[in-house]
Amino acid sequence: MNTIMVNTTLGKVENIEEVLKGEFAVVAEWQQKGILAHIFVKEAAGGVQVAIASIKGPHR
C-alpha cells in the first residue's frame, strides 16, 4: 500500500480553536471514507502530519 505523508507547519494562529473545529470535521469525514490513515497534531509548531491512505477510486 502506498501512503502519502504530508507535513505542515502553520506557525502561530490566533483563532486556532475556531479553525480546529472545522479541521477536525474534515478529518473525521476523511477517516470515515478511508482516505486518511493517521493524523499527528504538532501543537508546539502549529501544524500537522497526515498519512493519506492509498486511494483506488474517486472519493467525493
Q: Which three cell numbers stand for residue 36?
A: 486518511
pLDDT at 29: 92
pTM of the model: 0.60
What DSSP character marks residue 56? -
Nine cell digits for residue 7: 507535513
Which of 37, 58, 11 has the alpha carbon at shortest distance from 19? Answer: 11
Predicted local confidence at residue 58, as pLDDT: 60
For residues 57 and 24, which has the higher predicted lDDT (pLDDT)? Answer: 24
Degrees to nearest 5, angle at CA 21 with 23 and 34? 40
50 neighbors 39 (Cβ within 8 angstroms): yes
The one-letter amino acid code at 51 reads A
